[in-house]
């Protein structure tokens, strides 16, 4: 009789264990199924910061967009020093024009090929997580080089979200003051080609033949109006040299100069004037 009771207890425990395991597996499968079914129809906009900076430099722009009632969702994509992407926050079906602040933990590298690969890793992660098909990109300073070097290697890539619009802010495409450029040192011809091409710019020359022709480009640069024709860190000729690389192939190419105090290099991503310019371009 005692053995029969113990057998029934063991059988009951085993049944409860199996039922519990089935319940846990069902919950996990439902969660995974729900994640796989999330598909964002809106076009997210990614923000890429400059050298030595972080997602903090992107808050002014993203908060201004939310305050304008154009978006109701800000998340982050943090890339560690090995290129692994961690998404912070959640985008859902009710998210309106999602904004994604991209942060590179290794924020002092000048390896633009690596920067481009990190951006690709972010786009792949977004595709896998949300089935995102299109994105807009906004870069400041070094963030622009990440965008251009990404396109240099992936202009015909179909397995990642396609780029709809690009805003380049304070781009140093052909040099940085004090490093490989000086005010009034270089000039552009009537096609936008610099009279001297530095190494990073020469590497981007294939974009003249491969830049995707569906992308609309807005190039924002600053002029402190102090006689240097620069934002203090980047000459206007360096910023405007982007035209020679992409204007003939882009769906559209426009330039906007910000003059005065708000035209300083770092203040360009803190400027209400720039906020309004990018809002008008991305969501006309």
Domain count, the chain: 2
Residue 77's beta-bridge partner residues? 87, 102
Q: What is the pTM of this model?
A: 0.87
**Domain range for 20:** 1-37
Q: What is the mean pLDDT of residues 152-181?
A: 95
Same domain, 141 and 271: yes
- Give the CA angle between residues 169, 55, 178 to the nearest 5°: 50
- Which pLDDT tens digit goes with each residue over 200-244? 999 999 999 999 999 999 999 999 999 999 999 999 999 999 999
| Residue 12: predicted pLDDT | 67
Asked which of 12-21, 35-44, 65-74, 186-195 is least confident by mean pLDDT, the reply is 35-44
Cα separation, 142 vs 149, whole angstroms: 11
Q: How many Cβ atoms sit within 10 Å of the Cβ of residue 100?
A: 27
Distance linking the first and last C-alpha atoms of the chain: 82
Phi, psi angles (nearest 5°) of residue 181:
-155, 160
138-158, pLDDT tens digit by residue? 999 999 999 999 999 998 888
Q: Are residues 177 and 89 in the same domain?
A: yes
User: What CATH number is attached to the domain comprising 159?
Assistant: 3.40.50.1820
Same domain assignment for residues 104 and 13: no
Tens digit of pLDDT for each residue in 263-276?
A: 999 999 999 999 99
CA distances 163 to 132, 136, 160, 251, Å, are: 11, 6, 9, 12
SS3 state of residue 189? coil
Do 31 and 147 lie in a common domain? no
Residues 110 and 54 placed together within one structural domain of the fold: yes
**Exposed/middle/buried for residue 31 (C-beta within 10 Å: 0-12, 13-18, 19+):** exposed
């Amino acid at each position: 009789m005692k053995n029969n009771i113990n057998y029934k207890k063991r059988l009951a425990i085993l049944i409860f264990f199996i039922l519990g395991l089935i319940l846990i597996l069902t919950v996990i499968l439902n969660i995974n199924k729900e994640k796989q079914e999330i598909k964002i129809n809106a076009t997210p906009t990614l923000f890429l910061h400059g050298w030595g900076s972080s997602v903090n430099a992107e808050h002014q722009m993203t908060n201004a967009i939310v305050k304008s009632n154009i978006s109701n969702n800000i998340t982050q994509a943090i890339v560690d020093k090995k290129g692994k992407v961690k998404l912070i926050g959640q985008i859902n079906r009710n998210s309106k024009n999602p904004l994604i602040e991209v942060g590179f933990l290794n924020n002092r590298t000048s390896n633009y090929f690596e920067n481009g690969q990190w951006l690709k890793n972010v786009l792949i992660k977004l595709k896998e997580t949300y089935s995102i098909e299109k994105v807009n990109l906004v870069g400041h300073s070094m963030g622009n080089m990440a965008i251009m070097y990404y396109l240099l290697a992936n202009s015909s890539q179909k397995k990642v979200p396609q780029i709809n619009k690009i805003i380049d802010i304070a781009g140093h495409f052909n040099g940085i003051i004090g490093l490989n450029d000086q005010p009034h040192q270089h000039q552009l011809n009537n096609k936008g080609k610099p009279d001297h091409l530095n190494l990073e710019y020469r590497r981007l020359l294939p974009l003249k033949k491969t830049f995707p022709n569906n992308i609309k480009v807005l190039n924002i640069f600053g002029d402190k109006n102090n006689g240097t024709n620069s934002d203090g860190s980047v000459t206007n000729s360096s910023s405007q040299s982007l035209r020679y690389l992409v204007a003939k192939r882009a769906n559209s190419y426009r330039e906007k100069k910000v003059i005065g105090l708000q035209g300083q290099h770092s203040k360009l991503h803190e400027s209400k004037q720039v906020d309004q310019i990018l809002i008008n371009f991305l969501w006309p």
